[in-house]
Structure 1
Amino acid sequence: MAHGDITHIDIPVTDMAKAAEFYSGLFGWQIAEMPGFEGYPMWQAPNQISGGGLAPRDDGFTQPRSYVEVDSIDETVAKAKEAGATVAREKSEISPTSWWAVIIDPDGNAIGLYEGTTDASGS
C-alpha cells in the first residue's frame, strides 16, 4: 500500500462470534484471529486486498473506522492539527514495525492512521 491508501477498516461489534458469522455468510469474508492479535479477528474480502478487523464496541468506538496509510503518523498528525483536526488517540504501537493513531477531522469524523508494516520480516 502507498501513502494515502485506505489500508484497513475496523468494524465495532458486541458479539465477535455472531459478527464473524454474519459477515462471512453475507460477504464471503475470511475471518480469523491472527497470532499476536487474539480477541481481534481480522477479516479479508474475497479480492484478497480489502480487509480489517472486528473490534470491541465501546463508547468511543461506535461506527466503522477506516485507516489510511501514511509515511509518518507524527507528520500527518501535525499537518491535520494545523488544518483543524484533533487527536482522538495518540500514536500507539501495533508491532515493533507498525503504529496507529486516530484523528477527528473538522466535521467530527474519526479517521485512523497507519504507519509501517505488520509483516514479521519488517518489509
Structure 2
Amino acid sequence: MRSNVPAWFDISTPDSERTRTFYKELLGWNVTVLDETYALVGGADGEPTGGIGQAGSGSPYTGVVVYFPVEDVEVALQQVEKLGGTRRLDPQSVPGRGRIAVFIDPDGNPVGLVSP
C-alpha cells in the first residue's frame, strides 16, 4: 500500500446531478448512479476511481477530497491530531472500499484516508 499515491476521490456537492453531468461531459467519465445520494465515476475501462455525492445540511464537507491509503484509519487519525489536524469524518466502513475517514489539515484542507 503506497500512502503517497491517491487511492480514491470524492466530490461532495449540493447538486450531484449537475456535477455528474459536468464531469461526464468534460472528462468523459463513466458514471454509475448507485442511488439519489452517490454515484461512482471512472475512466473508459469502467473501473471506478472516485465518486460524486450529494451534500446536505449534515454533510461533513463540500468540494473535492482525495483519499490516501493507510494501514489503519484510526491510527492515522491519531497521528493527524498529534500533528495539528482535526477529524472531520470519523472512521466508517464503506462496502468494497474498507474504512474511510476525513480530516482537516492545519491549513484547512479536507483530506481523506482509506484502509482495508
TM over 0.5: yes
Matched, 1:52 2:56: no
Q: Could you list the runs of 4 or more consecutive aligned residues of structure 1 that deviate by over 3 angstroms after TM superposition?
A: 46-50
CA shift in 2, pair 1:22/1:96, >3 Å: closer
Offset of residue 96 of structure 1: 7.8
2:3 partner SS: coil
Mapping for residues 8-87 of structure 1, pairs under 5 Å: 8-34=8-34, 38=35, 39-46=37-44, 51-58=49-56, 60-87=60-87
CA shift in 2, pair 1:48/1:2, >3 Å: farther
Give TM-score scaled by structure 1 length: 0.77
Give TM-score scaled by structure 2 length: 0.81
Residue type at the aligned position of 2:42: Q
Offset of residue 47 of structure 1: 7.1
CA shift in 2, pair 1:42/1:72, >3 Å: same
1:78 partner SS: helix
In 2, are the aligned partners of 1:4 and 1:70 still within 8 Å (CA)? no
Residue type at the aligned position of 1:73: V
Name the structure where strand makes up a greater proportion of residues.
Answer: 2
Offset of residue 57 of structure 1: 2.1
Q: Percent identity?
A: 24
- In structure 1, the gaps of 5 or more residues are 117-123
In 1, are the aligned partners of 2:41 and 2:50 still within 8 Å (CA)? yes
Residue type at the aligned position of 1:83: L
CA shift in 2, pair 1:5/1:48, >3 Å: farther
Matched, 1:102 2:99: no
- Number of residue equivalences: 113
